[in-house]
Amino acid sequence: MSHLSREDVAHVAMLARIELEDHELDVLAEQLDQIVDWVSQVGEVASDDVPPMSHPLPLANVTRPDEVRPSLSAEQALANAPASQDDRFAVPRILDEE
């Protein structure tokens, strides 16, 4: 069992640029110490015969094959557009770049 000191917490807080009060250091040291203990308990339970997994349920992509199907022509799609240019929707420029 490792024991995190308030100096350890203060050092990590300084690296993360987090300003903590003295009473917060004591509370966080205790809480982080408990978290480290829980993580070590999980490590003890893990077994070599259990394969690592990224998800508890098997996943499969549900995709359909790409097939060309009838769709709107450019003229039909742009029919109600407030502005169009070169078979595209024309929108106001939002950046000053070319």
Q: Which fold has domain 6-45?
A: Histone, subunit A (1.10.20)
Beta bridge partners of 84: 89
Q: 32-89: per-residue pLDDT in tens?
A: 989 988 888 887 776 777 777 788 888 888 898 999 999 999 999 999 999 999 999 9
Provide the angle, in degrees to the nearest 10, between the axes of the packed helices 22-45 and 6-15. Answer: 100
User: What is the model's pLDDT at position 14?
Assistant: 94
User: What is the model's pLDDT at position 11?
Assistant: 94
Write phi, then psi, for 41 (nearest 5 degrees). Answer: -65, -40
pTM of the model: 0.45
Query: Which residue has 């770049």 as its token pair?
Result: 97
Give residue 86's region: left, alpha or beta (phi > 0; psi -120 to 50): left
